[in-house]
Amino acid sequence: MKKQILCIGAGYVGGPTMAVIADRCPDYVVTVVDINEQRIAAWNSDQLPIYEPGLDEIVFRCRGKNLFYSTDIPNGIRNADIIFVSVNTPTKTFGAGEGHAANLQFVEKTARSILEYSQSDKIIVEKSTLPVRTAQTIQRILHSNNKGLKFQVVSNPEFLAEGTAISDLNNPDRVLIGGMETEEGRQAVEEIISIYANWVPREKIITTNLWSSELTKLVSNAMLAQRISSVNSISALCEKTEANVNEVAEAAGLDSRIGPKFLRASLGFGGSCFKKDILNLVYLCRYYNLPEVADYWESVVKINDYQATRFVRNILQAMFNTVADKRIAILGFAFKANTGDTRESPAISVCKQLLEEHAALAIYDPKAMENAKLDLANEKGNIEFCSSAEEAVRGAHGIVIATEWQEFTQLDYEALFRTMQKPAFIFDGRNILPHKKLFEIGFDVYSIGQKPLTHFQGIVV
Ligand SMILES: NC(=O)c1ccc[n+]([C@@H]2O[C@H](COP(=O)([O-])OP(=O)(O)OC[C@H]3O[C@@H](n4cnc5c(N)ncnc54)[C@H](O)[C@@H]3O)[C@@H](O)[C@H]2O)c1
């Protein structure tokens, strides 16, 4: 008989992860459940609820064979041998730990549902990113049963990055599995290893104790974000000293001890995870009375906020200290390229700050328009949602590149320039455009951590 895998939570992690498991493991039946009926309906339709390169193909190949999406959570739990918990773990917005601690209500509700509907022993896999020692809480809830059932909790954090989720899942740097150091714990870990062993080389599947595994996920995200904040902090210094942050990052990154990745200066990191996971780490450090450690990691988030604020300040200064009633084309709204996800996107902060300055925004993103509308739904001011970059730019005083979509590097900037108000500004928040060429076309070009290329040089205002 085929083993039954259930995933609770059909989001950016549960959806792609389970699709790849179903694709790679024909001996398992994989069911993904969610309380969100709309989301499940979309997973069952031709228009999947999230955009990820390569995802459609896999879902369409496996759906209805060994991959199912459903809202029937009780039945899913009853039938499952292994349950992945992939629900959201946002930052708490109320009560103790507000603004830092993880809101674990969805995880706890899931554990209680598992307890309520289970009729057999199960392995519970923490896929969500959780504070270290959450498995203990889950275990306590699950073992408060008088049904005589046994549950083994295993940690298997997900390291996929949105935009490259499918290739990350198909070729992970490593798969991390943490379990209890008991005989049953080791058996549960072996069960999870045997899923991944269908396609991941054995040496890339590493096992640790539960707490190391839970903590590793927070630490990995904190370290990645810390590199971005490091290079962004240096970009501010570059702008003062005429050093070029791209050159500095490239030269520093060629040191094999440093390496080149995540050293690209930008208007800041976004995404649902980096900020919340660092704040969670900060909360844990404060909880365990480690204020110096907490402050160290909190500064990574502070630099990120500073970077977006600094970017807007530079826009204002360049545009003669006022953007009121000026049309500004915002190209890109997703937190990074190749995703429609806008959670914690720096574009949100930039747009809100520009709206406070009474700018008229014309927003275009190839995949994130629906999310952009939701994110700005409560904002007052002049906002136009456009269906192309050309439409957004027409009549604009300035262009802001907020997401590094490749299509923005391929636009006909000469043609765009002709349709804009003059002087025409470009603020490249991702350092992806050919700045010299744009300057020669006639733009005043501002980027991150580099000397602006303006046509006003020598004119003292
Ligand atoms: N998004 C990423 O790139 C990423 C990467 C690695 C890890 N993670 C972690 O994975 C977890 C999930 O992230 P996500 O981006 O997929 O979140 P998401 O918000 O896209 O999806 C979570 C889903 O869980 C569902 N849900 C919540 N409570 C439920 C319940 N009681 N029963 C059934 N369904 C329930 C929600 O309706 C939602 O659809 C988080 O802990 C996150 O930190 C995310």
Question: Who contacts 15 (Cβ-Cβ below 8 Å, separation ≥6)?
Answer: 32, 43, 48, 49, 50, 55, 59
Ligand 1 neighbourhood includes 196 CB (under 6 angstroms): no
Strand, coil or helix: what is 426? strand
Indicate whether residue 272 lines ligand 1 (CB < 6 A): yes
Cα Rg of the chain, angstroms: 24
Please state the domain extents for the chain.
Answer: 3-200, 218-307, 309-447
> Which residues have a Cβ under 8 Å from the Cβ of 250 and sit 6 or more positions away?
260, 263
Q: Return the pLDDT at 146.
A: 83
Q: Atom of ligand 1 at shortest distance to CA of 9? A: 24
Q: What is the pLDDT of residue 459?
A: 52
Q: Are 419 and 393 in contact (CB under 8 A)?
A: yes
Which CATH code for domain 3-200?
3.40.50.720
How far does residue 15's CA lie from ligand 1's centre (Å)?
A: 9
Instruction: Report which protein residue has its CA nearest ligand 1's atom 23.
Output: 9
Pick the CATH number of 218-307 from 2.160.20.10, 2.40.50.140, 1.25.40.80, 1.10.1040.10: 1.10.1040.10
Q: What is the pLDDT of residue 456?
A: 83
CA distance linking residue 371 with residue 457, whole number of Å: 40
CA of 106 to the centre of ligand 1 (A): 9
Name the residue at shortest CA distance from atom 12 of ligand 1. 88
Q: Is the CB of 87 under 6 A from ligand 1?
A: yes
Task: Give me the active site residues, please.
Answer: 273
Please give the Cα distance from 115 to 108 (Å, whole number). Answer: 11
Residue 271: closest CA among 194, 388, 368: 368
214 C-alpha to ligand 1 centroid (Å): 16
- Same CATH topology for 3-200 and 309-447? yes
Question: What class has domain 309-447?
Answer: alpha beta
Indicate the top mutation candidate among 6, 117, 272 to test ligand 1's pocket, ranked by most ligand atoms within 8 A of CB.
272
Query: What tokens appear for 373 in the block?
Result: 């509308």
CB burial string 248-280: b at 16+ within 10 A, e below: bbeeebeeeeeeeebbbbbbbbbbbbbbbbbbb
Consecutive 10-residue runs of the chain (461 residues): their mean pLDDT?
92 98 97 98 97 97 98 98 97 94 96 96 97 95 90 98 96 98 97 98 98 97 98 98 97 98 97 96 97 98 98 97 98 96 97 98 98 97 98 98 98 98 98 98 98 78 42
Please enumerate in sequence order all residues whose Cβ is within 8 A of that of 460, keeping only pairs 6 or more positions apart, or say none. none
Which phi and psi angles does 124 have, rounded to 5°? Answer: -110, 125
